[in-house]
């Protein structure tokens, strides 16, 4: 970590004390990541924007994260799995029971900040807690660029932003059911559209794609595997 980011970490500790948790970022030593309790999000963001020691004038991005199954062996990428990616083929309840609660760290919102004045970047992470639906405060009043970013996170992850002036879907269709980037959402979706000749319009129907387990494998059927030449001398 270079001197500028060491100074940033020290300023964050001095200003907020133990209220925030600073964590390292693998592979990006100059990138600071700070975990902010959601009840302090707006207060912290206001200081990070207005205090000259920070001066994060620009909110570059806001994105949702679903940590369901995070760290499980099915998400290893160094080799093929032996059971397939079950989250993509096993249908789950897309709209959970209203009384159900989530793991406190299942859903998070990540904010990427830029200080042009100080040439610094900062990443904030806020967990939504066990709320169903997940809710975090909106930062639209602090950075107006958060407006569409928060709508996108709501649309794709179902995370609500308390205080947002116009929280509605921005990418999916009207009447869309569920949130496509949640890890319990089926990769084939729930409904499909087609044009009905008799009705003269586009209509919806349940998706008819058959789920399948995607276990990587290669089947070759050519002369390289013919019994009469298998194990033979291929030097010539």
The answer as to whether 236 is a domain residue is no
Q: Return the CATH number at 34.
A: 3.30.460.80
Predicted TM-score of the model (pTM) = 0.77
Tell me if residue 58 falls in helix, strand or coil: strand
More confident residue, 55 or 173: 55
The answer as to whether 163 is a domain residue is yes
Which residues touch 125 (CB under 8 Å, ≥6 apart)?
33, 34, 35, 36, 65, 108, 109, 110, 111
What is the tens place of the pLDDT at every residue in 128-156? 999 899 999 999 999 999 999 999 999 99
Contact between residue 188 and residue 209 where contact means Cβ atoms under 8 Å apart: yes
Query: Structure tokens of 217?
Result: 């494998």
Distance CA 9, CA 15 (A): 10
Element (H, E) at 37: none
Distance CA 205, CA 104 (A): 35
The answer as to whether 235 is a domain residue is no
Asked if residue 40 has pLDDT above 80, the reply is yes
What is the tens place of the pLDDT at every residue in 15-24? 999 899 988 6
- Spatial CA neighbour of 36 closest among 144, 109, 101: 109
Asked if residue 1 has pLDDT above 70, the reply is no
The answer as to whether 91 is a domain residue is yes
How many structural domains does the chain have?
1
More confident residue, 172 or 74: 172
The answer as to whether 45 is a domain residue is yes
The answer as to whether 90 is a domain residue is yes
Contact between residue 134 and residue 162 where contact means Cβ atoms under 8 Å apart: no
Domain residue limits at 95? 3-225
- From residue 162, alpha-carbon distances to 76, 139, 157 in Å are 35, 9, 15
pLDDT value of residue 236? 46
What is the tens place of the pLDDT at every residue in 186-211? 777 778 888 989 999 988 888 877 66
Question: Please, what is the end-to-end C-alpha distance for the chain in angstroms?
Answer: 56
Contact between residue 121 and residue 146 where contact means Cβ atoms under 8 Å apart: no
The answer as to whether 195 is a domain residue is yes
């Amino acid at each position: 970590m270079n001197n500028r980011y060491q100074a940033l970490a020290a300023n964050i500790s001095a200003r907020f004390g133990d209220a925030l948790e600073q964590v390292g970022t693998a592979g990006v030593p100059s990138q600071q990541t700070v975990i902010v309790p959601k009840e302090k999000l707006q207060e912290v963001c206001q200081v990070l924007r207005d205090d000259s020691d920070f001066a994060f004038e620009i909110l570059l991005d806001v994105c949702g994260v679903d940590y369901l199954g995070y760290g499980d062996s099915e998400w290893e990428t160094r080799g093929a799995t032996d059971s397939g990616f079950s989250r993509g083929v096993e249908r789950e309840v897309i709209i959970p029971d209203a009384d159900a609660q989530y793991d406190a760290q299942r859903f998070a919102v990540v904010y990427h900040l830029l200080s042009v004045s100080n040439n610094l970047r900062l990443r904030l992470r806020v967990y939504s807690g066990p709320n169903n639906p997940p809710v975090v405060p909106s930062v639209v009043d602090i950075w107006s660029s958060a407006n569409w970013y928060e709508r996108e996170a709501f649309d794709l992850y179902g995370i609500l932003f308390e205080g947002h002036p116009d929280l509605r879907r921005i990418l999916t269709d009207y009447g869309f059911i569920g949130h496509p980037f949640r890890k319990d959402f089926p990769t084939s979706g729930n409904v499909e559209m087609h044009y009905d000749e008799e009705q003269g319009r586009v209509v919806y129907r349940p998706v008819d794609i058959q789920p399948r387990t995607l276990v990587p494998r290669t089947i070759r059927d050519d002369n390289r595997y013919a019994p009469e030449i298998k194990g033979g001398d291929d030097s010539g």
